[in-house]
A and B are shown apart, each in its own frame.
Chain A
Amino acid sequence: MNVKNIKHVLGTLILICSICYITDKLIFFTLNKISDNVYTGLAIGKLNHYLKIKESKKLLVFGSSRANLHVDPYILDTSSFNMGLNARNIAFVTTVIKLIENKKPQTLLIQIDDSTLFNEDYDGKDLDALLVKYHRNPLIKKEIDKLNKANPFLNFFWSLSYNNRIFGIILNYIKPKYDYTKYRGFDAVEPTEHEKEVFQNFVKNKKPKGCPDSVHLNKLSYNCFLELIEYAKNNNKKLIFFTAPFYDDECKIDNEELFSLTKKLNLEYFDFTDTFRYDTSLDNWRDEAHLSKIGAIKFTHKLKEEILKNSKNFPL
Chain B
Amino acid sequence: MLFNSAHFAIFFPIIFLLYWLIPNNRVKQQNILLFISSYFFYACWDWRFLFLLIFSTLLDYFTGIQMSNSKNQDQKKIWFLISVITNLSFLGFFKYYNFFIESFISLSTKLGFHANPHTLKIILPVGISFYTLHGLSYVIDIYRDRIKAENNFIDYAVFVSFFPLLVAGPIERATHLLPQVKSKRIFSNSRFNEGILQITIGLFRKIVIADSLAIYVDWVYREPNIFNSSSLILAAIFYAFQIYYDFAGYSDIAIGTGKLLGFDLLQNFNLPYFATSITEFWRKWHMSLSYWLRDYLYIELGGNRNGKLKTYRNLLLTMLIGGLWHGSNWTFVVWGGLHGLFLCIEKYVRPNSYYKFLKKISYLGYIYTFVLVSFAFIYFRSPDIQTANVMVGRILSGNYQLPIISDYNAMLITIVVLMIGFTFDLYLRITNQSIEYLGSKIKFSSMIFLISFTIMLMVLFFANSTNFIYFQF
Q: Say yes or no: is B321 at the interface (Cβ < 8 Å to chain A).
A: no
Distance, CA A162 to CA B457, complexed state (A)? 11
Interface size on B, residues (CB 8 A): 29
Distance, CA A162 to CA B462, complexed state (A)? 11
Interface residues of A in 16-30 (CB under 8 A from B): 16, 19-20, 23-24, 27
Q: Say yes or no: is A124 at the interface (Cβ < 8 Å to chain B).
A: no
Between A9, A43, A160, the greatest number of chain B beta carbons within 10 A of the residue's beta carbon is seen for: A9
Does B189 contact A27, Cβ atoms closer than 8 Å?
A: no
Chain B residues in 8 Å Cβ range of A160: 459
Does B404 contact A157, Cβ atoms closer than 8 Å?
A: no
Q: Say yes or no: is A198 at the interface (Cβ < 8 Å to chain B).
A: yes
Does B187 contact A24, Cβ atoms closer than 8 Å?
A: no
Q: Say yes or no: is B461 at the interface (Cβ < 8 Å to chain A).
A: yes
Binds A, one of B279-287, B304-312, B342-350, B409-417: B409-417
Main SS of the interface on chain B? helix
Known: A16-B451, A24-B456, A159-B456. 15 other contacts (CB 8 A): A1-B21, A4-B189, A5-B20, A5-B187, A19-B448, A19-B449, A19-B452, A20-B456, A24-B459, A160-B459, A163-B459, A165-B409, A167-B409, A167-B416, A201-B226
Interface residues of A in 240-261 (CB under 8 A from B): none
Does A194 contact B448, Cβ atoms closer than 8 Å?
A: no
Chain B residues in 8 Å Cβ range of A9: 192
Interface residues of A in 45-64 (CB under 8 A from B): none
Chain B residues in 8 Å Cβ range of A20: 452, 455-456
Does A12 contact B196, Cβ atoms closer than 8 Å?
A: yes
0/1 per residue, A281-293, Cβ < 8 Å to B?
Answer: 0000000000000
Q: Could you tell me the distance in whole angstroms from the C-beta of A171 to the nearest C-beta in chain B?
A: 8
0/1 per residue, B430-473, Cβ < 8 Å to A?
Answer: 00000000000000000011011001100111110000000000
Chain A residues in 8 Å Cβ range of B451: 16
Distance, CA A43 to CA B462, complexed state (A)? 16
Interface residues of B in 68-118 (CB under 8 A from A): none
Q: Say yes or no: is B228 at the interface (Cβ < 8 Å to chain A).
A: yes
Distance, CA A8 to CA B451, complexed state (A)? 16
Distance, CA A162 to CA B461, complexed state (A)? 9
Residue in A8, A19, A153, A168 whose CB lies within 8 Å of B189:
A8
- Name B445's closest neighbour in chain A (CB-CB): A15
Residue in B21, B448, B449 whose CB lies within 8 Å of A12:
B448
Does B412 contact A164, Cβ atoms closer than 8 Å?
A: no
Q: Say yes or no: is B6 at the interface (Cβ < 8 Å to chain A).
A: yes
Q: Say yes or no: is B193 at the interface (Cβ < 8 Å to chain A).
A: yes
Chain A residues in 8 Å Cβ range of B459: 24, 153, 157, 159-160, 163
Interface residues of B in 215-231 (CB under 8 A from A): 226, 228
Does A15 contact B187, Cβ atoms closer than 8 Å?
A: no
Distance, CA A24 to CA B452, complexed state (A)? 10
Chain A residues in 8 Å Cβ range of B452: 16, 19-20, 23
Chain A residues in 8 Å Cβ range of B456: 20, 23-24, 27, 159
- Name B459's closest neighbour in chain A (CB-CB): A157
- Name A160's closest neighbour in chain B (CB-CB): B459
Distance, CA A27 to CA B457, complexed state (A)? 11
0/1 per residue, A149-184, Cβ < 8 Å to B?
Answer: 000110001011011111110000000000000000
Chain A residues in 8 Å Cβ range of B20: 1, 5
Distance, CA A16 to CA B193, complexed state (A)? 12
Interface residues of B in 38-94 (CB under 8 A from A): none
- Name B190's closest neighbour in chain A (CB-CB): A8
Distance, CA A23 to CA B452, complexed state (A)? 9
Does B187 contact A164, Cβ atoms closer than 8 Å?
A: no
Instruction: Identify 5 residue pairs between A and B in the complex whose beta-carbon atoms are under 8 Å apart, listed by A's number.
Output: A8-B192, A16-B452, A23-B456, A162-B460, A198-B226
Chain A residues in 8 Å Cβ range of B228: 194
Interface residues of B in 392-438 (CB under 8 A from A): 404, 409-410, 412-413, 416
Given A5-B189, A9-B192, A20-B456, is A164 in contact with B448 using a C-beta cutoff of 8 Å? no
Count A/B pairs, Cβ under 8 Å: 67
Between B6, B196, B459, B462, the greatest number of chain A beta carbons within 10 A of the residue's beta carbon is seen for: B459
Does B455 contact A164, Cβ atoms closer than 8 Å?
A: no
Chain A residues in 8 Å Cβ range of B21: 1
Does B460 contact A16, Cβ atoms closer than 8 Å?
A: no
Between B196, B404, B451, B452, the greatest number of chain A beta carbons within 10 A of the residue's beta carbon is seen for: B452
Does B409 contact A12, Cβ atoms closer than 8 Å?
A: no
Q: Could you tell me the distance in whole angstroms from the C-beta of B19 to the nearest C-beta in chain A?
A: 9
Chain A residues in 8 Å Cβ range of B6: 152
Distance, CA A233 to CA B226, complexed state (A)? 48
Q: Could you tell me the distance in whole angstroms from the C-beta of A291 to the nearest C-beta in chain B?
A: 18
Distance, CA A20 to CA B448, complexed state (A)? 10
Chain B residues in 8 Å Cβ range of A165: 409
Chain A residues in 8 Å Cβ range of B193: 12
Chain B residues in 8 Å Cβ range of A159: 456, 459-460
Distance, CA A153 to CA B6, complexed state (A)? 10
Does B192 contact A167, Cβ atoms closer than 8 Å?
A: no
- Name A194's closest neighbour in chain B (CB-CB): B404
Residue in A8, A152, A163 whose CB lies within 8 Å of B462:
A163
- Name B463's closest neighbour in chain A (CB-CB): A164
Distance, CA A184 to CA B439, complexed state (A)? 53
- Name A162's closest neighbour in chain B (CB-CB): B460
Distance, CA A164 to CA B414, complexed state (A)? 10
- Name A2's closest neighbour in chain B (CB-CB): B187
Chain B residues in 8 Å Cβ range of A19: 448-449, 452
Given A1-B187, A194-B228, is A16 in contact with B410 using a C-beta cutoff of 8 Å? no
Closest CB pairs A-B (n = 7): A1-B20, A19-B452, A1-B187, A8-B189, A168-B409, A157-B459, A198-B226
Q: Could you tell me the distance in whole angstroms from the C-beta of B452 to the nearest C-beta in chain A?
A: 4
0/1 per residue, A195-210, Cβ < 8 Å to B?
Answer: 0001001000000000
- Name B225's closest neighbour in chain A (CB-CB): A201
Distance, CA A2 to CA B462, complexed state (A)? 36
- Name A42's closest neighbour in chain B (CB-CB): B409
0/1 per residue, B18-29, Cβ < 8 Å to A?
Answer: 001100010000
Chain A residues in 8 Å Cβ range of B461: 163-164, 166
Chain B residues in 8 Å Cβ range of A167: 409, 412-413, 416
Does A164 contact B192, Cβ atoms closer than 8 Å?
A: no
0/1 per residue, B252-275, Cβ < 8 Å to A?
Answer: 000000000000000000000000
- Name B451's closest neighbour in chain A (CB-CB): A16
- Name A198's closest neighbour in chain B (CB-CB): B226
Does A43 contact B409, Cβ atoms closer than 8 Å?
A: yes
Distance, CA A8 to CA B463, complexed state (A)? 32
Distance, CA A23 to CA B20, complexed state (A)? 31
Distance, CA A15 to CA B193, complexed state (A)? 13
Does A164 contact B410, Cβ atoms closer than 8 Å?
A: yes
Does B413 contact A16, Cβ atoms closer than 8 Å?
A: no
Does A16 contact B455, Cβ atoms closer than 8 Å?
A: yes
Interface residues of B in 179-202 (CB under 8 A from A): 187-189, 192-193, 196
Interface residues of A in 115-167 (CB under 8 A from B): 152-153, 157, 159-160, 162-167
Distance, CA A9 to CA B260, complexed state (A)? 11
Distance, CA A201 to CA B188, complexed state (A)? 63
Chain A residues in 8 Å Cβ range of B196: 12
